[in-house]
Amino acid sequence: MASRDPRRPNVLLILSDDQGPWAMGCAGNHEIRTPHLDALAARGIRFSRFFCTSPVCSPARASLFTGLLPSQHGVHDWLSYHHAGRTGIDFLADRLLFTDLLADAGYRSGLSGKWHLGANDRPRKGFVHWYAHESGGGPYHGAPMYRDEVRAEEPGYLTDALADDAERFLAAEAERPEPFHLSLHFTAPHKPWKGQHPRAFTDLYEDCAFETCPQGPPHPWQPLDEDGTPVGGESDIRQALIGYFAATTAMDAAVGRVLDRLDTLGLTGSTLTVFTSDNGFNAGHHGIWGKGNGTFPQNMYDSSVVVPCLISQPGRIPEGRHCDALLSQYDFLPTLVDHLGLDHTPAPGLPGRSFTDLLGDSPVPDGDAPDRERVVVYDEYGPVRMIRTRDWKYVHRYPYGPHELYELATDPGEEHNLVDKPRHGAVRTQLAARLDAWFAEYVDPALDGARLPVTGSGQRTPITPGSLPTAFEPLPGG
């Protein structure tokens, strides 16, 4: 009946879409209602500085599943074309995913929701269940879904439909002897927002002051639609906020149903449950609506690159713990290999390191981890790269800038760019050198994003020598 062995647990990966690190009650937001995520945090560990590898969906998802950087797997922007059907391209066809490792270890995998890595209609290796969105998102009613390669529109509210599908998968797998992996990938709280979500959830926020999402002056780099609306937002800001919060709370309720089903089946103690998001989100933060491509040049604000991360397995992972170690999505694959005890040695070219020591009863302090550099994370989005330590962040934009330097110890809101301040020149030089050296060690020169014309408006095709000028979409209106 699935795995009942806590040392060889089932895996439930719950992935939200465009959820800012601020958008949970357990993260300190007093306005948003996420009781089930808060409860999950209480029975596990909340990682408050868990970074996506690129602040937009497809490259971040590709890195989560492969452990590779965008400049290693070649997905540098959200996929704007070739989603499914005859012309569908699998952008990770030649890559090793953690799901491939699970299949080799005898796991049965299921997908409920958003894939958005190309060929979305076709199950990957090891998947015995495939209920996937045709593209990367869209309206919450009438969503185009593929069930085992057959397309049909989902008539109900998509968030609930995904939870229903996940519950059915869990119930079926509970009757089998093999361990399972379920990827439950919501499209929430990604837009659209206004008029999309059940009244039971929008009514909760009709009188909300939204103090946690102050609307400052528009960021000067934010692209606008033809009607002047920020590309990552909607014209009615208050209704967008109501919809974003409602979408998050509706998803939280759906997560609660799935976790309750896991409990009812007696599988909670033998299931590793991970909740995270593909990338962060700004709902007015920094004057932006959107994530990394909410501006051009693309941004690397923490609100864009930090994502929620909750990890739980009662009886094996301590409960009620908060950890502020700097970690990245590229650390997830080697951590999963360690925690599950898979017979696999991650390739030396992977940039990540296992953080299973932080999942135990006696976590190793950051300074006592000699086998990896836990106090630094790196991000990239096309020609934009970031190095982030506990106290500093440096953002470098190839080839000409502008660059940014923030002293996070005194400026956690990243409001004062110090890159041109002479007194910080040595810090900038040191961080820039570390950034260059790290990427030089790991990138595939043929897929190096630093030389690509990534605009944040989408990627059409895989990177090949002849495709560089046409693989990426121009800016809106460009």
Quote the pLDDT of residue 343: 93
Cβ neighbours around 460 below 10 Å, total: 15
Kindly state the tokens that stand for 289: 């609506």
- Does residue 384 share a domain with residue 361? no
Last residue in a domain, options 368, 389, 423: 368
Residues in Cβ contact with 139 at an 8 Å cutoff, skipping those fewer than 6 apart: 192, 196
**What is the tens place of the pLDDT at every residue in 77-123?**
999 988 899 889 999 999 999 999 999 999 999 999 999 999 999 99
Q: Residue 315 burial (CB < 10 Å; 0-12/13-18/19+)?
A: exposed
Supply the pLDDT for residue 367.
44
CB 330 within 8 A of CB 53: yes
**What is the DSSP-derived secondary structure letter of residue 475?**
P
pLDDT tens digit string along 122-170? 999 999 999 999 998 999 999 999 998 999 999 999 999 999 999 999 9
| 457 inside domain | no
Residue 212 lies in a domain: yes
Nearest to 183 by CA among 85, 299, 44, 61: 61
Shared domain check, 359 and 434:
no
Tens digits of per-residue pLDDT, 161-209?
999 999 999 999 999 999 999 999 999 999 999 999 999 999 999 999 9
User: Same domain for 224 and 85?
Assistant: yes
The enclosing domain of 397 has a CATH number of 3.30.1120.10
What CATH number does residue 14 fall under?
Answer: 3.40.720.10
Assess whether 302 and 425 both reside in one domain. Answer: no
Question: Are residue 268 and residue 383 in the same domain, yes or no?
Answer: no
From residue 402, give the alpha-carbon distance in Å to each of 57, 231, 394, 415, 449.
24, 21, 11, 15, 17
Structural domain tally of the chain? 2
Could you list the residue range(s) of the whole structural domain that residue 352 is in? 10-368
DSSP annotation of 32: S
Task: Work out whether strand 309-312 and strand 10-16 pair parallel, antiparallel, or are unpaired.
Answer: unpaired
3-state secondary structure of 50: strand
The per-residue pLDDT for range 418-456, each reduced to its tens digit, is 999 999 999 999 999 999 999 999 999 999 999 999 999
Q: Are residues 399 and 267 in the same domain?
A: no
- Shared domain for 345 and 446, answered yes or no, is no
H helix or E strand, kind and range, residue 168: helix 158-173
| Same domain flag for 384 and 364 | no
- Given 368, 402, 435, the domain boundary residue is 368
456 falls within a domain? no
Among the candidates 341, 368, 395, a domain finishes at 368
Q: Is residue 458 part of a domain?
A: no
Q: In this structure, are 249 and 286 located in the same domain?
A: yes
Instruction: Tell me, yes or no, whether 477 lies in a domain.
Output: no
Q: Does 470 map to a domain?
A: no
H-run or E-run covering 103: helix 98-104
Q: Judge whether 305 lies within some domain.
A: yes
Backbone angles phi, psi at 76, to 5 degrees: -110, -10
Q: Tell me, yes or no, whether 19 and 129 share the same domain.
A: yes
Residue 370 contacts by C-beta under 8 Å, 6 or more apart in sequence? Answer: none
Domain assignment present for 45: yes
